[in-house]
Amino acid sequence: MNRERETQDFTQNNTEVTFLKLELGLIHIKDMQFADTTKLENGVIYVNKEELRTIILEDKHIKSVDFEIARPGESVRITPVKDVIEPRVKVEGPGGLFPGMMSKVDTVGSGRTHVLQGSAVVTTGKIVGFQEGIIDMCGIGAEYTPFSKLNNLVMICEPVDGLKQHEHEKAVRFAGYKAAMYLGELGKTASPDEIETYETPNMMEGIKLYPELPRVAYVQMLQSQGLLHDTYVYGVDAKQTLPSLMYPTEMMDGAIVSGNCVSACDKNTTYHHLNNPVIKDLYAEHGKTLNFVGVIITNENVYLADKERSSNFTAKFTELFGLDGAVVSQEGFGNPDTDLIMNCKKIEEKGVKTVIITDEYAGQDGKSQSLADAHVSANAVVTGGNANQVITLPPMDKVIGHIDYVNIIAGGNEHSLQKDGSIVAELQVITGATNELGFNRLSAR
């Protein structure tokens, strides 16, 4: 099938420009309930959990699965959180959701996709890696995570005995995709409450269209250090790739998905990739204050030679496309700080003004060096907050998952779980608290 394109005549430049066009049909979800039949009615998702359980248990690596619903404002704590996924469905255009994972490897990002906005699938169960997190649906903890505002179908997936960590992670990851697509199908024939339209010209046409505006690209760094620190692009582990170009809308169809267990506060869940706010903000300014030319994805590997190679390629792309500016977002901290600074330094050396988005690990008193690396070229920085900040989370009436892991997840300690059920830990433990896409609620004052 041909890519969905639309031609428009821009008479001010006497050019006819062809756009790649994606429509997101947003279906507002107000509630979620269990029922005998899975359906969508009046903004409410009804779920037959026995039918969904049968689908999930087709994977022999999963011994059992149970389901709970967590709504905004309820006294509910979910932990340890593995991933969060928004239900979507491809309605028109090439490809399907999560290409290379759940659908054929067709290039996505055009046509129409329906979104069950206000809902999510959250995966939990026995811990996969120690860097998993907490979602509180009410109280102070809820203010630090965007996922407290969603109607969440929580899947408690327990692996078969003796399953290795990588197999465990994969089983839970695919269980989440299956559940999200199962719910997403409900939106296929529904009428959206609103439609968002994203149009992207090819790069050469775009430059001609807005010659007076600065050309800006988004450089998205993907966590790919291995050892359960993985991100997948069209089904390929990002550490096995070189930096490459993408249409921004490809992410909105699930071309990039999370497969990692990095610190909960700054990991990009699959939900984050589907709703990348940097991309949406750049689209909002496209043709007004800047010319958004596209996305460069790059990885975060462990060894120095791999970091040099990837940052060289990234900087080369910014030069090749004659950029005036670049926005670079990081994922994770510590070792990836080197990738972040390498990217910033080399892009700036190409004459491209660079803004980096990161978070900080500045110690519980906020006085330590925020990043593991630094350079004078990194003089325009947006921060997601200090992940070492200590917070006390009040007890909840209900816990979904396993509360006993709280003391060993990143940001916790042997004394974190209190006798009354409250938790004293660093912000690291809260899923999305200092997200480096800016998908959080922290600010300075």
Is 261 one of the catalytic residues?
yes
Q: Which of 138, 157, 261, 344 is catalytic?
A: 261
CA distances from 29 to 40, 136, 151, 202 (A): 9, 20, 8, 34
Tokens standing for residue 229: 């620190």
Measured CA to CA, the distance from residue 59 to residue 55 in angstroms comes to 8
Task: Give Cβ neighbours of residue 337 (< 8 Å, ≥ 6 apart).
Answer: 330, 358, 371, 372, 373
Burial class (CB in 10 A: 0-12, 13-18, 19+), 325: middle
Q: Among 36, 40, 74, 115, which residue's Cα sits nearest to residue 398? A: 74
Helix runs in 72-138, H state only: none
Looking at the DSSP bridge assignments, the partners of residue 245 are: 296
Phi, psi of 345 (to 5 degrees): -60, -45
Catalytic residues: 261
